[in-house]
């Protein structure tokens, strides 16, 4: 993101983060090309003033079509979701390597000078995340490598490919490792949603159907950090304007357990629910948190929006969407 106006491809523009990023770039006056495999009716945000493509970016020809004439590429496209989805769809998640590979090839062929890749905290080894009260993960902890099976391996490989494109071909590449991004205009039902949205929906449903009960995967003592979408977009912008080119954590360092997350949503909703713990459901690693030492050094900033503030906005947005769906409206969820 330079001060001059650019033509920018947002790959995954129909998704959660991609939709917010496209909106931000449009507000800045850039020409935006948004591409996503989903049909337009399933995009979380469809911006009429962008050039929109519903294409499969696993195919090189589709990447060439989307990249043509662009100055920069922001790759947020991949098969992903919450813990249930990535646990049960390892091969599908790994096929996203085709998207990043073909986008890099297309970017080089089309003379694109700037490339952004969205990686994940799932690249960090399981052996560093076996305790709920863990030491926060710093960027160098990714090696020796043992990332999350499927999704994590794809992300780590794609990080390396981006780095080698920078080294071999002079492309200006930036990589962030997202730590659990949440907020409005994202997935909140259907199996791909992450913990904040899932708990918001479950508590809304428990109130609506009168059961007063929700299911929590595991014992609820597993820990995570969660970053609100506005901080995510600010972090991307700051990194793209920086000279730092190695992978960088982008997440809050506010560690909470899933039970504490449920407590917060209950307080926001103004109700109490019973909790049924499913110890056989996918739980992922025992603990994961972002060490923000490096981001504070290189960007002189770290994500600032606290969990309660972000959850309040997310909860009331999901409650509105749930109500609209109950009244028969078509809602992207």
Kindly state the percentage of the chain with pLDDT values over 70.
Answer: 99
Instruction: Write out pLDDT tens, residues 268-285.
Output: 999 999 999 999 999 889
Give the pLDDT score at 83: 84
Report the alpha-carbon distance of residue 136 to residue 296 in Å, rounded. 15
**pLDDT band for position 2 (50/70/90)?**
low
Q: List domains and CATH numbers for the chain.
A: 7-182+228-250 (3.40.50.720), 195-224+255-295+306-326 (3.90.25.10)
Mean pLDDT (the chain) is 96
For residue 49 the two structure tokens come to 């003033």
pTM of structure: 0.95
pLDDT higher than threshold 70 for residue 1? no
* Residue 3 in this model has a pLDDT that exceeds 80: no
The bridge status of strand 31-36 relative to strand 256-257 is unpaired
Percent of the chain scored above 90 by pLDDT? 93
* DSSP labels, 233-259: HHHHHHHHTSS--S-EEES----EEHH
Q: Is residue 151 annotated as part of the catalytic site, yes or no? A: yes
Q: What is the rounded CA–CA span in Å between residue 34 and residue 296?
A: 31
Running DSSP on this structure, what letter comes out for residue 275?
E
Catalytic residue among 74, 117, 124, 151: 151
Instruction: Output the CA torsion 288→289→293→295 (10° steps).
Output: 100
In this predicted structure, the answer to whether residue 115 has a pLDDT above a threshold of 80 is yes
| Inter-residue contact 35 to 73 (CB < 8 Å) | no
Tokens representing 182 are 């949440």
8 A C-beta contact, residue 170 and residue 213: no
């Amino acid at each position: 993101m330079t001060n001059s106006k650019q033509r920018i491809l947002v790959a995954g523009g129909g998704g959660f983060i991609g939709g917010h990023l496209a909106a931000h770039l449009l507000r800045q006056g850039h020409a935006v090309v948004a591409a996503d495999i989903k049909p337009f009716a399933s995009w979380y945000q469809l911006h009429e003033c962008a050039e929109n493509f519903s294409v499969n970016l696993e195919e090189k020809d589709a990447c060439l079509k989307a990249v043509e004439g662009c100055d920069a590429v922001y790759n947020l496209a991949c098969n992903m979701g919450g813990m249930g989805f990535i646990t049960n769809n390892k091969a599908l998640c790994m096929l996203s390597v085709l998207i990043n590979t073909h986008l890099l090839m297309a970017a080089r062929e089309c003379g694109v000078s700037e490339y952004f890749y969205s990686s994940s905290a799932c690249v960090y080894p399981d052996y560093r995340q076996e305790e709920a009260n863990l030491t926060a993960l710093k960027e160098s902890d990714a090696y020796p490598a043992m990332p999350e099976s499927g999704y994590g391996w794809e992300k780590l490989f794609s990080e390396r490919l981006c780095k080698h494109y920078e080294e071999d071909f002079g492309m200006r590449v930036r990589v962030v490792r997202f730590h659990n991004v949440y907020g409005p205009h994202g997935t909140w039902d259907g199996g791909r949603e992450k913990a904040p949205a899932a708990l918001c929906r479950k508590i809304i449903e428990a109130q609506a159907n009168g059961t007063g009960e929700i299911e929590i995967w595991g014992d609820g003592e597993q820990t995570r950090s969660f970053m609100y979408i506005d901080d995510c977009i600010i972090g991307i912008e700051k990194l793209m304007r920086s000279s730092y080119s190695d992978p960088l954590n982008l997440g809050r360092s506010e560690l909470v357990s899933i039970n504490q997350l449920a407590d917060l949503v209950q307080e926001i909703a103004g109700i109490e629910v019973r909790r049924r713990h499913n110890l056989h459901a996918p739980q992922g690693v025992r603990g994961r948190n972002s060490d923000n030492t490096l981001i504070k050094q290189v960007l002189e900033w770290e994500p600032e929006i606290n969990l309660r503030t972000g959850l309040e906005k997310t909860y009331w947005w999901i409650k509105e969407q749930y109500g609209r769906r109950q009244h028969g409206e078509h809602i992207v969820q």
